[in-house]
Amino acid sequence: MSRSALVGNVTAMLEDAGFVVSDRCAIRPKSFDVAARRGSNVILVKILGNIDAFNEATGHEMRRLGTHLQATPLVIGLRSRDEDLKPDVVYFRHGVPVFSPDTAYNLFIENVPPLIYAAPGGLYVNIDGDLLADEREKRDWSLGRLASELGVSRRTVSKYEDGMNASVEVAMALEELFEDELTSPVDVLDGADDVHDAEPTPEDPAADPDDEDVVATLVRTGFTVHPTNRSPFKAVSTDEGDDDEPVLTGHSAFTKAAEKRAKIMSSIGHVAGTRSVYVVERAKQESVDGTALVEHEELEAVGDAAELRSLIRERADREEAA
């Protein structure tokens, strides 16, 4: 299957699952292919035939964007090396959850979350420690008795009851012993860090030298600017005002490529709940599909974040009303 077909299939599946899906980020380099939202859940999805193509720089960018946009970064892929990804298993690459289209279908369409995750040493599951302790005590078994049944140490059983996860083999043995389900699913959207010791969010990269004046102006007006280097936009800008929508910001000469980026920014904003602004030297129109166009001189004249937000809203809203 070509990657283009795979992206189309995954996008259609997300739409069938009730997600609002952005336009495809058809630019390079790109950290994610589409953004999608269902209810309060926003996901940033990278779609790959072989997940070995997912490198550290892209993983770091997706994790930063997840933090700045309050979204969950995900990779949906078919295989690693020459081996297909196992169904209903969550893998991790550079701190980002990875799973197969079948797993995504079960999660998003069937509402059946995965139970297993891959980590160094094998496949593991979440054990409900409180339930395990209750079941053991119901049978009046000591920690030592259960440890002997499982072929592990007493200390290991104690750790299971304190919340340590177990191998698939141990989990199956526990459920056979107690004739009850003792596992809990991997909460991909909200709780993946519970089963994966992710490092802190990677630091923002340095701004492109060509954008330093724009970044300095945004900072002067009260924004905190988070530069990107693999996205359709140059930065995610936030401030502490009443309007807490992040602002996707772009900057370049207004070319066909810039217009394409501005349209993608608008589509992502529709999904992720952001505003967007593209800074240009000269603009022949006020906005592109909801992304406000602001000339460099106009930006320098802006007094504070509230004034810039007002300008962005006015230009976007006038286009929508037209």
Residues composing the chain: 322
Quote the pTM value.
0.90
pLDDT at 188: 85
CA distance 156 to 150: 10
304 with 221: CB under 8 angstroms?
A: yes
Q: What is the pLDDT of residue 242?
A: 54
The per-residue pLDDT for range 195-223, each reduced to its tens digit, is 566 678 889 999 999 999 999 999 999 99
pLDDT of residue 157: 92
Q: Which DSSP symbol is given to 24?
A: P
- Please give the backbone phi and psi of residue 67, each rounded to the nearest 5 degrees, phi first: -70, -50
Q: What tokens does 20 get?
A: 């609002």
Mean pLDDT value across the chain? 91
Q: Which range among 33-37, 178-182, 282-286 has the greatest average pLDDT?
A: 33-37
Domains of the chain in sequence order = 3-114 (3.40.1350), 123-184 (1.10.260.40), 209-321 (3.40.91.30)
DSSP classification of residue 119: E
Q: Is the pLDDT of residue 6 over 70?
A: yes
Higher per-residue confidence, 187 vs 8? 8
Q: What is the C-alpha to C-alpha distance for residues 189 and 72, in angstroms, rounded to an integer? A: 6
Say what angle helices 168-178 and 143-150 make with each other, to 10 degrees: 120
Reply yes or no on whether the pLDDT at 18 is more than 70.
Answer: yes
d(Cα 185, Cα 199) in Å, to the nearest integer? Answer: 22
- Report the pLDDT averaged over residues 109-125: 91
Q: At 273, phi and psi to the nearest 5?
A: 75, 45
Which pLDDT tens digit goes with each residue over 155-201? 999 999 998 889 899 999 998 898 888 888 888 887 566 556 667 88
CA distance 209 to 215: 10
**Angle between helices 101-108 and 3-16 in degrees, nearest 10:** 10
Where is average pLDDT lowest: 161-165, 274-278, 296-300? 161-165
